[in-house]
Amino acid sequence: MKSVSSFGHFDRIIGELTDLRVLLERIETRDREAKQRGGEALLIGVEAIHQAIRKTRTEIVSIKSNGKGETLYRATDELDAVVADTESATETILEAAETIDGIAGRLIPTLEGDAREQLVEMRSQAIRIFEACNFQDISGQRISKVVNLMQFIEQRIMAMTEIWGITEIESDPASEARKPKGDEALLNGPALATDENVVSQDDIDSLFP
């Protein structure tokens, strides 16, 4: 009886070991499949990163202009010039209005009737000029904010080009297609103070007697 009982005990142990072995094989199979799936996911992730890097580099190339004086850099300089020219013109207008107001103020006591009323109206219009010229401060502040933002973008673009090692600008078909051609390419607007080899108004005036 003991022998039969022992054999039954051994059979149960062998059966449990067999079940354990099957379980371990299942676990190993699952681990291999998980690793395989993880490897595939990793490869997919790496490929996605690679594509993103290539796309980013392409975008940087399309944004970065061929040196100072074009696209984003030119736009920043143009806005700076707008602020400076507007401020200078506004100061001239204010000085002229102040002169007119002063002359009218000195003449009013010396005149009577319609002439006096006309001078009073002239001073009133000079005050309107003073008030209207306040636009320059507000517009200048707004444009300055835009300029600062564009300069920040310029700095970020330059930093990215250094990170990617972009030393030369590659050909961008889209940018080439957008460039003006023919007579349109000659319409560059007024020159900036920093522009070189440009024809000034004095040069043009000298051509006429």
Same domain for 108 and 35: no
- Tell whether 35 and 103 lie within a shared domain: no
Domain total in the chain? 2
Residues 6+ apart with CB under 8 A from 147: 76, 79, 80, 83
In a domain, 182, yes or no: no
Q: Are 79 and 147 in contact (CB under 8 A)?
A: yes
CB under 8 A, 24+ apart: contacts of 95-100: 97/126, 97/129, 97/130, 97/133, 98/126, 100/126
Is position 206 within any domain? no
Which value, to the nearest 10 degrees, does the dihedral of the CA atoms of residues 11, 14, 15, 16 take? 120
Rg (CA), the chain: 40
Same domain, 34 and 87: no
In a domain, 34, yes or no: yes
Residue 61 has pLDDT above 70, yes or no: no
Same domain, 134 and 73: yes
Tell whether 114 and 149 lie within a shared domain. Answer: yes
Specify if 181 maps to a domain.
no
pLDDT digits (tens, 9 = 90+) for 8-44: 555 666 666 677 777 777 777 776 666 666 556 666 6
Whether 201 is in a domain gets the answer no
Range of the domain at 131: 68-167
92 and 141 housed in the same domain: yes
Both 108 and 40 in one domain: the answer is no
Whether 6 and 88 map to the same domain: the answer is no
**pLDDT for the residue 102:** 92
199-209 average pLDDT score:
60
Mean per-residue pLDDT, 97-104: 92
Predicted pLDDT of residue 106: 92
Does 168 score more than 80 pLDDT? no
Domain containing 133 — which CATH number? Answer: 1.10.287
Position 188 scores a pLDDT of 59
Other C-beta atoms lying within 10 Å of the C-beta of residue 64: 22
Percent of the chain with pLDDT over 70: 50
Do 8 and 78 reside in the same domain of the chain?
A: no
116 & 154 share domain: yes
Widest CA span in the chain:
146
Mean pLDDT along residues 77-85: 83
- On whether residue 158 sits in a domain, the answer given is yes
Does residue 59 belong to any structural domain of this protein? no
Q: Do residues 7 and 74 share a domain?
A: no
Same domain for 39 and 119, yes or no, is no
92 lies in a domain? Answer: yes
